[in-house]
Amino acid sequence: GNSVTQMEGPVTLSEEAFLTINCTYTATGYPSLFWYVQYPGEGLQLLLKATKADDKGSNKGFEATYRKETISFHLEKGSVQVSDSAVYFCALSGDWGKLQFGAGTQVVVTP
Amino acid sequence: ETGVTQSPTHLIKTRGQQVTLRCSSQSGHNTVSWYQQALGQGPQFIFQYYREEENGRGNFPPRFSGLQFPNYSSELNVNALELDDSALYLCASSLGQGGHTEAFFGQGTRLTVV
């Protein structure tokens, strides 16, 4: 079946540091890939997505490229802010749009 | 503002009781999915409703059931509550059910079973 594996947290960074969160997946077919963000006490917000191989999703300075050869969708941001502190979830979309999530990576950005 | 609203936001129930959670989907969306997110974990798919019919179910027992109404709002019902049912329950709405469809999440209902 489908699965998503992402790096464990917490990831603690200083403001303006470079952020990478690794995400790999296994899936049948050609799923869409997503990154969602969850701020404390809130639901999930879509951060970015990619629907096919070599697509790059980007939003708010975050980027991720759908790599079919390495079955990866790593999230990157060049310069993080304190407001980026949150839990980040990698997900893939399988049958009928069902989302399969990774376990989440907590990111803590300190001033 | 995603337009997906869930009620209530918090709820405390006793083991063995029944609970109903509600979700109002974003305007124009005909598909609603429910997820359970235990503390410190990623959301797990419970089931999906498309045009009032259940259309896919995750690995959850039959005591988890749902409904979708003609206006596409939805309910999640859980019978015979267990302590392990304590979690954040998330509703997501989308237009259609394809794999590339973007889902919009509500803020969730925090259920505590004591």
Nearest CA in chain B to A48: B102
From the candidates A98, A100, A101, A106, which should be mutated to test the interface with B, based on the most B CB atoms within 10 A? A98
Q: What is the pLDDT of residues A18-72, one digit of tens each?
A: 999 999 999 888 889 999 999 988 889 999 999 999 999 999 999 999 998 889 9
Contact of A52 with A66, CB cutoff 8 Å? yes
CA distance A25 to B8: 34
- Specify which residues B34 forms β-bridges with: B47, B91
Query: Taking CB atoms and an 8 Å limit, are B2 and A97 in contact across chains?
Result: no
Query: Taking CB atoms and an 8 Å limit, are A95 and B99 in contact across chains?
Result: yes
A32 touches chain B (CB under 8 A): yes
Q: What is the pLDDT of residues B42-65, one digit of tens each?
A: 999 999 999 899 988 999 999 999
B105 touches chain A (CB under 8 A): yes
3-state secondary structure of B96: coil
Q: CA neighbours within 13 Å on the CB side: how many for B8?
A: 9
Query: Taking CB atoms and an 8 Å limit, are A46 and B102 in contact across chains?
Result: yes
CA distance A21 to A75: 5
Q: CA neighbours within 13 Å on the CB side: how many for B50?
A: 11
For residue A69, the model assigns a pLDDT of 85
For residue A49, the model assigns a pLDDT of 94
Torsion region of B90: left, alpha or beta (phi above 0 gives left; psi -120 to 50 gives alpha): beta
Amino acid at A90: C
